Amino acid sequence: MGKVWAYGSRVLLLALAVSLTACKTSGGNAGSGSATPAGPAPVASPAPQPAVSGGVPAATTEAFVTNSGAGTIATYTVTDGQLSVTPVSTTVTAAQSTPRWITLNGGFAYVANMGFNDVSTYTINQGVLSAVPVSTTAPIAGTAPNKIIVNNTGTMAYVANLAAGDVSAYPIHSDLLATDPVETTAPAQGYDIAGIVLSPSGQHLYCVYFISTGTTGDGYVASYAVTNGVPAPMPLSVTAILPNTNPMGIAISLSGHHIYVVNTGIGNIATYAVTGGVLSQQPVATTTPVTGSNPFIDALDPTGDYLYVANQGSGTVASYRITNGLPASVPLSVSRAVAGSGPFGVTVGVRGRFLYVTCEQGGDVASYAITNGVLSAQAVSVTRPSPGSVPLWLAAAS
Given a cut of 80, whether residue 20 has pLDDT beyond it is no
Q: Pick the residue with more confidence: 49 or 156?
A: 156
| One-letter identity of residue 360 | E
Total structural domains in the chain? 1
Q: How confident is the model at residue 360 (pLDDT cuts 50, 70, 90)?
A: confident
Given a cut of 90, whether residue 253 has pLDDT beyond it is yes
pLDDT at 281 (0 to 100): 96
Within a domain: 4 = no
Within a domain: 47 = no
- The 8 Å CB, 24+ separation contacts for 167-173 are 167/193, 167/196, 167/205, 167/207, 167/224, 167/231, 168/140, 168/143, 169/229, 169/230, 169/231, 170/119, 170/137, 171/229, 172/105
Residue 170 burial by Cβ neighbours in a 10 Å radius (0-12, 13-18, 19+): buried
Within a domain: 1 = no
Summarize the confidence of residues 5-30 as an average pLDDT: 34
pLDDT at 244 (0 to 100): 86
Summarize the confidence of residues 67-82 as an average pLDDT: 93
Average pLDDT for the chain: 84
pLDDT at 131 (0 to 100): 94
pLDDT (tens digit per residue) in 84-117: 999 999 999 988 899 999 999 989 999 999 999 9
Q: b/e string for 246-258 if b means 16 or more Cβ within 10 A?
A: bbbbbbbbeebeb
Within a domain: 21 = yes
φ, ψ for residue 198, nearest 5 deg: -110, 145
Within a domain: 2 = no
CA dihedral sign, ordered 112, 117, 121, 127:
negative
pLDDT at 284 (0 to 100): 97
CATH number, domain containing residue 389: 2.130.10.10
Given a cut of 60, whether residue 36 has pLDDT beyond it is no
Q: How confident is the model at residue 215 (pLDDT cuts 50, 70, 90)?
A: low
pLDDT (tens digit per residue) in 311-325: 988 889 999 999 999
Summarize the confidence of residues 72-80 as an average pLDDT: 94
Q: How confident is the model at residue 293 (pLDDT cuts 50, 70, 90)?
A: confident
Alpha-carbon gap, residue 51 to 56, rounded angstroms: 10
* 369: containing domain: 10-26+62-396
Within a domain: 384 = yes
Quote the percentage of the chain above a pLDDT of 70: 82
Given a cut of 50, whether residue 254 has pLDDT beyond it is yes
Widest CA span in the chain: 60
Summarize the confidence of residues 267-286 as an average pLDDT: 96
pLDDT at 351 (0 to 100): 87
Within a domain: 87 = yes
pLDDT at 387 (0 to 100): 81
Summarize the confidence of residues 351-368 as an average pLDDT: 91
Given a cut of 70, whether residue 28 has pLDDT beyond it is no
SS3 303: coil
Within a domain: 53 = no
Summarize the confidence of residues 33-40 as an average pLDDT: 37
Alpha-carbon gap, residue 159 to 166, rounded angstroms: 8
Measure Cα distances from 219 to 19, 28, 164, 188, 380 in Å: 20, 18, 15, 11, 36
Q: Pick the residue with more confidence: 115 or 50?
A: 115
Given a cut of 70, whether residue 14 has pLDDT beyond it is no
Q: How confident is the model at residue 386 (pLDDT cuts 50, 70, 90)?
A: confident
